[in-house]
Amino acid sequence: MFGSQFVILTTFVDIIMIEIYGFSFGGAELALIIGFVLTFLVQLFYQLLMAIFTLSGKKKAIQDDYPSVSIIVPSRNYEENLRTLIPVLLDQDYPDFEVVVVDDCSSDGTEWYLAELKLRSNKLKTSHIVQETDFPNALAITIGIRAATKEWLIFLNPLCRVAGNDWLKSFAASLRPNIEAVFGFVKYTNLNGSMKKFFRYENFDAFMLHGSARYLGCPMPVTDMNIAYRREQFLNLKGFAGVLDSRFCENELYINKISNRKNSTYLLDRSTVVSYKGDTDWYDGMNFKKKQLLIKKEFTVGQSVFLWINNISRIVFDASMIALLILSPWRFWIAGVWLFKMIHELIWGIAAMKRLGEKKLFPGLLVLRSVVPFFNSFLSLKYLFTRRKRKWK
């Protein structure tokens, strides 16, 4: 060894061997091990953030003073779903709130149902849009906000389902003076169709990942449902004026614009969760993924870097692990490191599921977390070459 701890030996077939502290490694093997170890440490850091996130935001004690709240529900041809949702919202045990439903060019019986319901409740307000525009979602939400009169705005979809009449009180416990943006969880357990599990896995994983990003100063929205922000700030910032360069998901992009580490909070409390009811198929799943990727293109550099490092480190970790299990004599150590990572993910994943009232996401979620980074990369490349030919609607 010539007294050195590091010796490079070249064989007759020019295969590089590297000796480190008495252990010999092939050049390719060492490169794989380095990649495996580095990405393991990166993934461990992400899991640490998720662990801190899971342990944060313990349920607040019931308080005496609650801010006033307007619940905004834009709707287009969802009469039957409104008949299920709106009565439960109007029956909330809360001192000062209103429900604002925006009838967005509906052609069913929505207008007549809302008119009938307004006669029975003074907490219901309605607005009606009669003509389609280039920004239908932004217009419907803006009209609802203009019609609202309360301090805080909470946004729901007609397909949302609220469990019990104490949901609003639980949600409002987090509407504190120093908070400007609130992200609640949406469960997809009531979905039907072939993509039900996909939606559940993706939604839960995104909520945990985006919520943990808050500790690095870059919180991110997951959906436009069960989120809240202040009405006055929306009006002072001229509404969606700053995000109308993207003709979709204006509400997610707006709350993303105003949120930061100090003024935002994610609700890890099953009493604040709403469920979502609907049907899904492969087409819905692919549109959901495309929408996610398009929204991410509007994120800040810091948010994009946070997401891309997570994706790339997962890809490199899984790929190097598989290669080392096949090629390296250290395969049992490699398998042990992988098992440690999986157990760590399970512990905090199950803890988060319990807090959010989710069930039976594992082990399927672990499989999805390994597959989705590859799938996202493929869709991103595909979008890069086809984006001029397609428009998101």
Inform me whether the pLDDT recorded for 14 exceeds 50: no
- DSSP-assigned states of every residue in 256-280: HHH--TTTEEE---GGG-EEEEEEE
**Would you state the structure tokens that stand for residue 327, as one six-digit string?**
């090629």
Inform me whether the pLDDT recorded for 284 exceeds 50: yes
Inform me whether the pLDDT recorded for 289 exceeds 50: yes
Inform me whether the pLDDT recorded for 321 exceeds 80: yes
Q: Which residue has the higher pLDDT, 375 or 149?
A: 149
Model confidence pLDDT, tens digit, residues 363-372: 777 777 777 7
Which of 51-55, 142-146, 176-180, 287-291 has the weakest average pLDDT? 287-291
Please tell me whether residue 211 adopts helix, strand or coil conformation: helix
6-10/16-20 β-pairing: antiparallel
Residue type, 253: L
Which of 176-190, 253-267, 290-304, 347-361 has the weakest average pLDDT? 290-304
Inform me whether the pLDDT recorded for 35 exceeds 70: yes
160-161/69-75 β-pairing: unpaired
User: What Rg do the C-alpha atoms of the chain give, in angstroms?
Assistant: 25
Supply the pLDDT for residue 384: 57
Q: What is the distance between the terminal CA atoms of the chain, rounded to a whole angstrom? A: 66
Supply the pLDDT for residue 46: 96
Which of 57-71, 99-113, 242-256, 330-344 has the weakest average pLDDT? 57-71
Supply the pLDDT for residue 371: 75
**Residue 90 and residue 126 in contact, taking contact as beta carbons nearer than 8 Å:** no
Supply the pLDDT for residue 190: 83
Supply the pLDDT for residue 244: 75
Percentage of residues of the chain with pLDDT beyond 70:
85
Supply the pLDDT for residue 351: 93
Q: Which residue has the higher pLDDT, 260 or 11?
A: 260
Mean per-residue pLDDT, 283-294: 79
Look over the chain and give the mean of its residue pLDDT values, rounded to a whole number: 86
User: Helix 331-356 to helix 364-386 angle, to the nearest 10 degrees?
Assistant: 90
Phi, psi of 170 (to 5 degrees): -65, -45
Cβ-proximal residues to 20 (8 Å cutoff; 6+ apart), any chain? 5, 6
Supply the pLDDT for residue 24: 58
Whole-prediction pTM: 0.87
Mean per-residue pLDDT, 81-107: 95
Q: In the structure, what pLDDT confidence band is assigned to residue 25 with cuts at 50, 70 and 90?
A: low
